[in-house]
Structure 1
Amino acid sequence: MARAGINKALVQRARDTLLARGEHPSIEAVRVELGNTGSKSTILRYLQELQASEPHPPSIRLDDELQTFIGSLAQRLAADAQAAVAEDRARLQRQQAAYEQQRAIDQARMEQLQTVHQELGVERQAAQRREQELNERLQTVDGECARLKAGAQHAQRLLEERTQQIRSLEEKHKQAHEALSHYRQQHLLQREQEMQRHERQTQLLHQEARHSRELLMRKQEEVAQIYLELERINAEQQMRVQDLRRQEHELQQALIDNARLMNALQTAEAGRQILQDEIQALRARAHRTLLERREDKQALRRMTLQLAQLHELLARLTTV
């Protein structure tokens, strides 16, 4: 029995539609035209009834069926080829878009690394200039230290000379005192006669001794001033030594910063090499994609050639 909703009029309408499109009204084609409804036996029965009811059934020649089959086959091949080409073209466009996006990302990363590389180069140059300045300052401090050491040695020699002069004056004073005592002992008997002469000589000696003491006091004051100057020089030398140590510490820190910058520069160079390798790999992938696209074009040309050959065969069959 026929299924609900399927009748002879619907089958006839589907059959006429297929014939109008130039398609063969087979059972499967009619069933598809009806929306995949109805049983095959019912559709076959209706088709047979419609064919029997026609007063002059159309006679289909073998060449018409072959032409219809070849045309349908050509359309199917062309549709399959166009679908394959469209799919390959869409895939190629997606790959090309992904490649362009990845290329933009890689370009941004490359520009960022170049910026970091330039900044590191500037910092390195600044560190080198600072190191050169510190070396110059260190040389200046070394020269100042050498000058201060020479001044201290000169002051020490001067102090030794002053000390020797003081000792010589003390020795002279001692000798004069001994000579005076010896003179008094030797000329004790002549003291009364030569009292005046002795008193004059004593006064002269006292004046000389007083002059010697004043000279000694001046020399002692000079020695005290020299000691104060030496203390001041030692204090300045200690301050300069501390400044030199601080500058040496700054130099060491600058050397450490320079080493850190060199490590960062080497890391940036390694990242740049990796990016270049990735870019080369992407270029190779793009080259392979272009080759595949060329092969697809060649396949499309072969399919077009086959279609042309089929059309020629169809034309020859139609002529025959």
Structure 2
Amino acid sequence: MGKIAFLFAGQGSQYPGMGKDLFEEINEVHDFFGIAEAIRPGTLSQMLVGTEEELKRTDNTQPCLFLADIASALALGANGITPDAVAGFSLGEVVALAVSGILSKENAFKLVCKRGALMQEAAEKEKGSMVAVLKMDKGELQELCSEVGVYPVNYNCPGQIVVSGKEDKIEKLKEKLSDKKARFIPLSVGGPFHTPYMKEASEELRKEAKVNMLYNINKPYIPLYSNRTAKPYPVDKEGIIQSFTEQISNSVNWEDTIKNMTEEGIDTFIECGPGKTLTGFVKRIVPQAQTYNVCDLDSLKSVVEELNK
């Protein structure tokens, strides 16, 4: 085994009850969840016993999914497994800010609460949605998006690109894709994320980060790969703020991120949080990579046993 990367899940992977047994059984998780609940009362109820519809709201999804993601990282750390690098998909990048040491866990949670509220506000102003397009030529899809007025935003893996935009235009795109007999999957998200429609949210989050000194931004102690550039975060405060705020209104270059991590010796990827979407992408990008998922006690035990052989 070479180096290990932790990957943090993004919106769309959430479900009621995620992280429940880690919260109940892992002291480090239980303690931090208590801190998070004090910061944003009601979060644990939404996360553990809330409805799917409640969790779909971006201002709820982001704090809850942050906790589910970081719970897996804390549980792994409690069992002696730590990463050599981290990356997070969209919202997951805020979790990576904490695990890389750029922000404390508490301040990263405060940031994700603000991020979720700003993005929810932007989504209510600009009603939109997202759809994953499968096995379509990249150039052809980009041309079609330009014609319809939507944006290819998430370059997930070979053969999968997510498109984002206003609801009426996404519906028009679906019609054209159907005409071309192209496969697509609507995503369980509540807005036109990673598009220029999120510019105001991006700018407001930047103001928040620059003005509020409570965030106490530090240099990362392990590389955090940026969604926007697919390269490690800068180490200066201004560059760090620019990276996590501009991410909201820019594309997620996940395929290039995984390729770049592999080139730096990462050969084992552990997805932290609900679902297996990110490790599925990894297998499509780097078939020889070792991939694992941790979302509950059973998967935690399995991964710990496997990596300690």
- TM-score per shorter chain, which class? under 0.3
The structure with the largest strand share of the pair is 2
- Structure with bigger gyration radius: 1
Greater length-normalized contact order (CA 8 Å, ≥ 6 residues apart): 1
- Give the structure-1-normalised TM-score: 0.14
The structure with the largest helix share of the pair is 1
- Give the structure-2-normalised TM-score: 0.14
